[in-house]
Every structure is written in C-alpha cells, then in structure tokens.
C-alpha cells in the first residue's frame, strides 16, 4: 500500500509541494533577487539565519505590514495569521503604539534613566496582570534569564526544572530534553560549553509523579513553564495539572515561573489570570509592547521582599541582570500605549470570537473529511495537530509532527495570500483580523485538501 502521512498519500503531498514551490518562484522575482543579493553579506542571506527556514525556495521579503495584512516586495498581499510568530499578535503597527513611538522618537531614544511612561506602564501592568511589581527587559528571553537568576538567588538553589519540548527563548538552562529518563542538552545547540544536565531538570508536561520526584530533592529553585505548551505543537494541561503544579512547588520550596509570552492569547491578563494561577513570577514579551522589542517580568509582595534582601546582602558589582537598552524610553512608550489602548477587553472579545469561527471551520474540515487530525487552541491561538488524539506530553507531540505535509499546506496557503506560522502551523487572530480573512483561511485549508485528493488520484 502507498505510504501515507497523516492520512494523505505521500506522493500526492510531494507533487503538490513541487507545484506550489514552482508557483512561489514565479510570483516572487523581486524577493528572489533580494535573496540572492543578501547572500553576499548575511549568513543564509538574512539578518537572522532561521529567517530562511520557512520552507519556501528562498525567503520572502516584506515591504509593509499593517493590521493583519502583509505586503511583499513583489506586491503580493497576504492575510497574516503568523503575525511575526506572536510579536504582532495585536496587529502590525497598532496605531496607538506607532503614534507613541513617533512622538518619543523626537524626545530621545534611550537615556539609561526612567521616563514618566515607565511609571504609567508599571501601573497598567499591575492592573492587567494582577501582580504589583515589575521589571523591563528587551526580550522575553532576557526576562526568562533574569527570572532564573532571581529564583536561584532567592532560594539559594541551583537547579531549574522545565518540561520536555519547551521553548523559552535563548535560555541555556531550558535547552534540555529528556532522553531515556536522563536530562541532556538539545542536539541542535551551537557552541554549548556548559553541561546543561548539571543544573537543569526536565520532566514531561502533565506527569505529576515525575515532577514531584524531582521537586522532592529540594534542589530546584524554580519551575519555568508555559501554562500551555505552544512550541512543540500544542500540549494542553490536563484537568488539575496546574493546581497540583502550584501545590507541589509550594510544598517543596520551589518557585513557579509562568512564561506567558505566547499564552497572552488566552484573554486579558494571560492564561494565569484567566485560569486563576498564582505564579511567583510571570514573564511576557513579543506582543506586550505591540511588537516593539520589550520583555517584562512581574512578581508579588513576597518575591519583592526577598529580591530586596538579595540586593541588600550582595557585594557591589554587576548583578548579571539587565542590558543597557532595557527599559529605554521607546520601549516604555510602546509598552504604555499597548497596555493602555491596544490590549483591551474589546480587542480580546474580537480575537476570541474570530478564534471560535476559525475553530469551527477547521473542525468541520477535519470531521467532514474524516481526517485523523485534531484542532487545538489557547484563546486566540490555534493549531492543527496531524494526529487524531491530542498529545499529553512534549515528547508525544514532537514525535508525531510530520514534516512534509505541513510544509505543503503552508506553501499552498501562502500562494493563495494566507500566511500561517512555519515550524508548527500556528494561526493567530488579532484585533485587526476580519471575519472575511478567517473564512478565506478556513476555505484555503479545505481547498488544499481537495487539491491533495486530486493529486492523489493523479499519482
């Protein structure tokens, strides 16, 4: 019998992918020329080497991005459901953020001193997320690294625990996986000198027994977790998981850090607020300042007191936390504008309503075509999983991610003016997204399956 991938014959996927790649080449001559030119001075021809990992024959160059729309340098226009892999979750260049940045640009970009906007942004962060104290960084990666340092300093413990399949940005301690019950560094890492297994612990998401076994050693300073795993496909917490995670961390003197960088999609205040979690630290970045580089971490009274104690008791010298441009005036202005005018209840209402609509469309496709797939979702963030049963762990999820099929579907959609996220088919709904765009995306998926059936018959 012919080989199938997630219910679709491999030959059909290969033939569709080849046709779509040829179509992409024909429609993107200016991107092709820029890609060639960029090769002379950039690694992989692009400013970040993984910008060439979209599965397209060459990178697509963007001319403009506004609201939920992208325009490439060849004049093709796209409904954007990738939204910069979350950086633009509230739409590209939200008007209040763009205006705040323009105004601040004439008043100084960075002074290594606080601005009034920072004070107001702190008040807004506290109101939105329910944690009284905050610090700014330039990225979510920076925020996670800072929080790990604080957690170690506060608890006087060295180990940190993450879940297998996690991603928390460029954070060395989190680049581990669980291999035959042992912790090891991820195989793709470049230039990793430290033995990550020394101070990192790793268990499967939803495995409370394994979690408790590690926490019981009382070596773990903190658990760093996304409340829903979103970087290995999507893995949802089982009922009671978060309650137990909190109970066990408290019981064993381990701090709980919830990384909301992607799960800000859950609703106003992020997953923790919506689901009443009680983290010791909360981290966010990417979209928090409307897509302008900015990360934040928040904490409560107890952590605040313990952090003050750490600072008071340490010798003079750099704390190892922070970068020169963190908390700069531009970022503070963007953060304030984003919290004040963009991340509003009305914005979330719109996003979540459209997410319902897309979920319905994709579920109908899966059911009508009897595809062995499922749709998973955290608020305004959706993914198609190419197995019938949703995974319980990161390992299960990554083991089941097929390669060729998502590439073919993504290329197909791109050629029809629909951008979804590379690596894991994520689709985000922004306040600027329209119902018509959502319907176009749902029918794009349906048409792709129809065309795959046609290709299967021809193969």
Ligand X SMILES: Cc1ncc(COP(=O)(O)O)c(C=O)c1O
- Please tell me the count of residues contacting ligand X according to CB under 6 A: 14
Minimum distance from residue 335 beta carbon to ligand X (Å)? 14
Site for ligand X in 393-432 (CB under 6 A): none
Burial code (b: 16+ CB inside 10 Å, e: under 16) for 409-439 equals bbbbbbbbbbbbbbbbbbbbbbbbbbeebbe
Task: Establish if 200 lies at the interface with ligand X (CB under 6 A).
Answer: no
Per-residue binder mask for ligand X (CB under 6 A), 3-42, x = binder: ----------------------------------------
Q: Which of 168, 177, 350, 395 binds ligand X (CB under 6 A)?
A: 168
State in angstroms the smallest separation of the CB of 225 from ligand X. 9
- Give how far Cα 294 sits from Cα of 143, 297, 360, 397, 433, Å: 9, 10, 34, 30, 23
On the 0-12 / 13-18 / 19+ scale of CB atoms within 10 A, 271 is buried
Residue nearest to ligand X (CB): 169
Does 328 bind ligand X (CB under 6 A)? Our answer is no
- Kindly state the smallest distance separating residue 227's Cβ from ligand X, in Å: 10
Asked if 381 interacts with ligand X (CB under 6 A), we say: no
**What's phi and psi for 323, nearest 5 deg?**
-130, 160
Length of the chain: 459
| Alpha-carbon span 346 to 192, nearest angstrom | 45
Least CB distance to ligand X at residue 148 (A)? 12
Minimal distance in Å, beta carbon 262 to ligand X? 5
Residue for token digits 């107890």? 302
Q: How far is the CB of 13 from ligand X (least distance, A)?
A: 27
Beta carbon nearer to ligand X, 53 or 360: 53
Question: Is there binding between residue 285 and ligand X (CB under 6 A)?
Answer: yes
Alpha-carbon distances of 166 from 171, 417, 426, 436, rounded to whole Å: 11, 31, 16, 34
Q: Which of residues 42 and 423 has its CB atom nearest to ligand X in the complex?
A: 423
* CB nearer ligand X, residue 283 or residue 365: 283
For ligand X, which is the closer residue by CB, 59 or 295? 295
Binding-site member from 199, 262, 336, 374 for ligand X (CB under 6 A):
262
> Position of tokens 């024909």?
26
Of the pair 45, 291, the CB lying nearest ligand X is at 291
Is 167 an interacting residue with respect to ligand X (CB under 6 A)? yes
CB count within 10 Å of CB 269 equals: 19
Segment near ligand X (CB under 6 A); pick from 20-28, 106-114, 209-217, 258-266 = 258-266
Kindly write down the DSSP assignment for every residue of 105-132, as one continuous string: HTS-S--SS--HHHHHHHHHHHHHHS-S
Output the CA torsion 424→363→343→433 (10° steps). 90
69 touching ligand X, by CB under 6 A: no
Q: Would you count residue 383 as binding ligand X (CB under 6 A)?
A: no
- Region 224-243 residues binding ligand X, contact defined as CB under 6 A: 226, 231
What six digits make up the tokens of 328?
Answer: 């700069």
Name which position in 94, 169, 270, 291 contacts ligand X (CB under 6 A).
Answer: 169
Binding mask 133-152 toward ligand X (x if CB under 6 A, else -) reads ------xxx--x--------
Q: Min. distance of Cβ 160 from ligand X in angstroms?
A: 14
What is the SS3 string spanning 419-458? ECCCCCCCEECCCCCCHHHHHHHHHHHHHHHHHHHHHHHH
Task: State the nearest-atom distance from the C-beta of 52 to ligand X, in Å.
Answer: 17
Name the H helices within 328-434.
329-337, 345-368, 394-399, 404-414
- Does residue 286 interact with ligand X by CB under 6 A? yes
The interface region with ligand X, picked from 58-66, 162-170, 313-321, 384-392 by CB under 6 A, is 162-170
Minimum distance of ligand X from residue 168's CB (angstroms): 4
Give CA separation, 68 vs 5, 89, 265, 418, 421, in Å.
31, 9, 15, 11, 14
> In degrees rounded to 5, what are phi and psi of residue 427?
-130, 125
Look up residue 231 and give its two tokens.
């970087």
Q: Which is nearer to ligand X, 17 or 162 (CB)?
A: 162
Q: 324: how many CB neighbours lie within 10 A of its CB?
A: 9
Instruction: Judge contact between 164 and 203, C-beta under 8 A.
Output: yes
Q: Does 173 bind ligand X (CB under 6 A)?
A: no
Any contact of residue 261 with ligand X (CB under 6 A)?
yes
The nearer residue to ligand X, 61 or 167, going by C-beta atoms, is 167
CA distance 290 to 312: 35
* Nearer residue to ligand X within complex by CB, 421 or 430: 421
Contact set with ligand X (CB under 6 A): 139-141, 144, 167-169, 226, 231, 259, 261-262, 285-286
């Amino acid at each position: 019998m012919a080989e199938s991938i997630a219910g679709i014959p491999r030959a059909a996927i290969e033939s569709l992918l080849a046709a779509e790649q040829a179509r992409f080449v024909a429609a993107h001559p200016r991107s092709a020329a820029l890609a060639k030119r960029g090769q002379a001075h950039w690694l992989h021809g692009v400013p970040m080497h993984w910008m060439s990992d979209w599965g397209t024959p060459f990178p697509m160059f963007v001319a403009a991005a506004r609201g939920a729309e992208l325009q490439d340098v060849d004049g093709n226009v796209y409904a954007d459901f990738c939204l910069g892999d979350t950086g633009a979750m509230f739409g590209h260049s939200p008007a209040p953020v763009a205006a705040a940045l323009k105004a601040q640009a004439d008043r100084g970009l960075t002074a290594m001193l606080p601005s009034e906007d920072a004070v107001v942004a702190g008040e807004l962060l506290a109101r939105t997320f329910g944690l009284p104290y905050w610090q700014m960084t330039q990225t979510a990666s920076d925020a996670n690294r800072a929080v790990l340092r604080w957690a170690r300093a506060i608890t006087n413990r060295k180990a940190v625990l993450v879940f297998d399949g996690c991603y928390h940005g460029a954070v060395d301690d989190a680049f581990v996986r669980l291999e035959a019950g042992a912790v090891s560094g991820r195989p793709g890492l470049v230039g990793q000198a430290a033995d990550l297994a020394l101070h990192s612990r790793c268990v499967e998401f939803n495995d409370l027994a394994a979690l408790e076994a590690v926490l019981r050693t009382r070596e773990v300073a903190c658990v760093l977790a996304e409340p829903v795993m979103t970087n290995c496909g999507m893995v949802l917490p089982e009922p009671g998981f978060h309650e137990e995670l909190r109970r066990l961390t408290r019981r064993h003197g381990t701090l709980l850090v919830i990384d909301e960088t992607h799960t800000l999609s859950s609703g106003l205040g992020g997953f923790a607020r919506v689901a009443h979690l009680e983290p010791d630290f909360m981290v966010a970045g990417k979209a928090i300042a409307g897509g302008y580089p900015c990360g934040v971490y928040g904490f409560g009274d107890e952590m605040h007191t313990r952090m003050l104690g750490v600072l008071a008791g340490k010798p003079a010298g750099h704390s190892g936390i922070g970068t020169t441009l963190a908390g700069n005036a531009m970022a503070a202005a963007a953060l304030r504008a984003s919290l004040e005018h963009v991340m509003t209840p009305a914005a979330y209402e719109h996003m979540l309503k459209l997410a319902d609509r897309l979920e319905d469309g994709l579920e109908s496709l899966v059911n009508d075509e009897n595809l062995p797939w499922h749709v998973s979702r955290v608020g305004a963030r959706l993914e198609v999983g190419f197995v019938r049963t949703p995974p319980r762990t990161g390992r299960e999820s990554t083991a089941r991610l097929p390669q060729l099929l998502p590439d073919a579907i993504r290329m197909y959609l791109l050629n029809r003016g629909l951008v979804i996220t590379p690596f894991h088919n994520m689709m985000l709904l922004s306040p600027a997204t329209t119902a018509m765009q959502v319907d176009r995306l749902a029918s794009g998926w349906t048409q792709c399956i129809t065309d795959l059936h046609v290709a299967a018959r021809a193969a």
